[in-house]
Each structure stands twice: as structure tokens, then as C-alpha cells.
Amino acid sequence: MTDTATETTGKEPRYGVPAIAGFTEEGENLSPLNEDSSPLGGDASKEHSHGGGAGIPDSSRAGRLTSYKLEDFKPLTGREEDWRFTPLKRLGGLHKKAPTGTAPTLGTELSEGATVETVGMDDARVGSAGIPEDRVSANAWNAAAEASVLTIGANAENVKATLTYTGAGMEASAQHLVIVAEPNSRGLVVIDHVGSAVVGENIEIDVQEGAELTVVSVQAWEDDAIHTGSQQANVAKDAKLKHIVVTFGGDLVRLTPSARFVGTGATAEMFGLYFGDAGQHLEHRLFVDHAQPHCTSNVLYKGALQGKDAHTVWVGDVLIRALAEGTDSYEANRNLVLTDGARADSVPNLEIETGNIAGAGHASTTGRFDDEHLFYLQSRGIDEKTARRLVVRGFLNEIIQQIGVEELQDRLNETVEAELAATDN
């Protein structure tokens, strides 16, 4: 296994920093399917901003352009830092012309304390927690004719909501969702994506003061689906967000979750699970913006992949701004490669602009089965095939058990079993 980790605290570091030959934050231009053109220049991070990362024009992450206007974003070439791993020719045109197809239909199951409305894009809540950060997101934002707004009422307890998006066509489409957890509420939202679709999606999550919200986004698409999704969250004073991403289905899925602290004493936990099969491209790019003091974040994504040309990408960006004193932050990505011909790319990034923090670190591990684990299980009479499945199940279960919904956890465990059975792992 290859492991990288760094830690910056006032105490002894928890991890060492072994070097990896040939690996840098710049990485490689990996996709032969990307269109050939000149790269987006370094000035991209110094453009004007309409929100989001305003205020630090020279930062590699926080200073990126945010805008509602598609024309503010240059056409993609595939050589931009944010798109160098993504095969643009497999995006179904979501980065080019405006999506005009019918968006996946929305079905809802709501407990008391939750409401869903359909509103125009001029509703005041639309744009309250996110502004497009790339061309695909801006394209979807402008193409969406309406938005769904899920509200968890103030002081409500044990609220549960399941939103099921069912795709039924392969014409490029756009959809928009806003989730509002009002002050001191407690809620769980499951967003389930199923069927066949080509969709650009924007999700805004507004976790208001003192609220505690869990959002689980499941990508269980059919094999032909194409899904790009921006999931941006604002986390207010003393609020808590647990954000969980589970990606199994689809031909190409590219998600960009982010959490921005807009009040002190807030907490964000971001977990992810993905299982890539032959030919699939599953990409997750995260951003945690410590813009307020005394906030805590914890990121853990785990992935397994198998089969020829299975490709997973994880990029984690954490920014600790100069005013974010007392920050405690950690991010990690773990990948288990089950067969030859599969590739996992993992890039953890950490920017620290103040030394007055409780702790900050990042880690990345990619490798095959641990021979010692297999030997231990086989020495106790378990055959190799069963031992391998036990190792994979144990590896991924750390994320599954974070969900807290028994029916969904059982469904995901069954999906893992089916994935392993597909290649006899």
C-alpha cells in the first residue's frame, strides 16, 4: 500500500510524511478522451468572484471564480486542473449546450416537520447556500426552470425525508434542490438517484444556527447514466452537518460536495463510499472552507474498484483561513484495488493560513488486499474467496454504518455483495 499523510498541530504529529516518487499536487493529464486545446491559465484563480471564494484572489482553491453566468466560465478543454481527470466526451454535452431534456421525476416520503415546495428560480432561497463554481454547474443552474425546496421546520425533532429522483431518458437535463434545516432542528434527508438519465444537478444545503442535519446522497443509477452534481452546504453557528455520499451506479458520475462554515463552533462530517466497476468513471471532489474560528471538520471517503478501465478519482481540498483560529480538521481517502486494469487517483490538499489551530491533517492510501489480513482469516479455516469478501465488507462498512438508516444500510450491503459476485471477488 501507498500512504501519504501530513499533520500540523502544536503537539507531536500523528502521521509521518513519506514521499511518493513521481506524485505531485499537479498530478497528470490522464484522460486521452479529453479534447486537445490550450490549458486554462493560472489567472483563472484570480478572476472576479460573485460569491463563495471571494476575498482571497491568490488562493489556489478559495479564489476560484463563482458566477451564475455561463459566459463567465471559459469552454472546457480537459486540461484545467479541476477537469484533468474527467473524460469530457463522456459528459453527454452537459458542459456545452444548455440541457433541454426532462429532468428525473421527484418522489417524496416526508415525516412530520418536513415540507417540499416547487418554486421558481427567482425564489429567495435559491442561491442562499451556493453559487456555481464551474461551467457545468452554471449551465445546469441556468437551464433549470424551477427548484424543489425541502424545509425542516425550526425546533423540529427526528424529521426524516426521502427524495427519490427517477430518470427515464437520456436527453441532457438539469435539476435544482434546496434543503433548509431551520434553527435548532434535527433531521435526516436521503436523496436517492435511480434509473437512466443525463443530468446536471445543483443541491444547496442551508444548515442554520444550532441545527443538526444528516444528508445521504445515493447514486444508484443504471449503467448508462451520466450525472454531474454540485452539493454545496453552508453550516451556521453551532450547527452540525453530516454529509454522506454513496456512489455505485452510472457510466460517469462526478460530484463536488462542499461545506463552508459561516458561524463559529460549527461541525461538518463528510463521508463517502464508492464502488467502481469495469469502464465506470466515478469522481468526487470535496472542499471544506474553514472561514470561521473554532470549527471542526472530519472527512473520510473509501472506495473499492474492479475490472478493466474502472477509474475512481478523489480530490479533497481543505482551506483554513487566517481568521479560523482553533480549527480542528482532518481528511482521509482510502482505496482498495481488487483487480488488474483498475485505477484510483487520490489527491488530498490542505491550505493553512494561520498557525493557531487545534489540528489539521490529511492522508491518502491506495493498495490491494492486505496479505496479513487474508492470512489471518485463512489460518482460521476461512477459504480465500470468503476471506477476500470479508475484508472488502469490513473495509466499506465503516462508511455504511454512518448512515443510521437500517433499510438503506441493508440495501447497500446487498449491493456490495452483488458487486463482489460480479467478478467473483
Task: Answer yes or no: is 88 within a domain.
Answer: yes
Which helix (H) or strand (E) covers residue 297, if one does? strand 296-305
Q: Which residues pair with 283 in a beta bridge?
A: 254, 313
The pLDDT value given to residue 323: 95
Its domain, for residue 253, covers 61-367
The pLDDT value given to residue 423: 66
Which of 9-18, 129-138, 237-246 is predicted with the least confidence, judged by mean pLDDT? 9-18
Residue 411 main-chain phi, psi, to 5 deg: -60, -40
Task: Answer yes or no: is 398 within a domain.
Answer: no
Residue 351 main-chain phi, psi, to 5 deg: -115, 125
Task: Answer yes or no: is 393 within a domain.
Answer: no
Radius of gyration over alpha carbons of the chain, in Å? 21
DSSP class of residue 371 equals H
Task: Answer yes or no: is 257 within a domain.
Answer: yes
Task: Answer yes or no: is 200 within a domain.
Answer: yes
Task: Answer yes or no: is 377 within a domain.
Answer: no
Each residue's pLDDT tens digit, 286-301? 999 999 999 999 999 9
As for how many domains the chain has, the answer is 1
Task: Answer yes or no: is 399 within a domain.
Answer: no
Which of 12-16, 58-62, 126-130 is predicted with the least confidence, judged by mean pLDDT? 12-16
In whole angstroms, give the CA distance from residue 228 to residue 277.
18
Each residue's pLDDT tens digit, 79-137? 998 999 999 999 999 999 899 999 999 999 999 999 999 999 999 999 999 999 999 99
- Grid cell 468526487 is found at 284
Task: Answer yes or no: is 252 within a domain.
Answer: yes
Axis-axis angle for helices 384-400, 371-378 (nearest 10) = 120
Q: What is the pTM of this model?
A: 0.86
Which of 43-57, 191-205, 238-252 is predicted with the least confidence, judged by mean pLDDT? 43-57
Amino acid symbol at 384: E
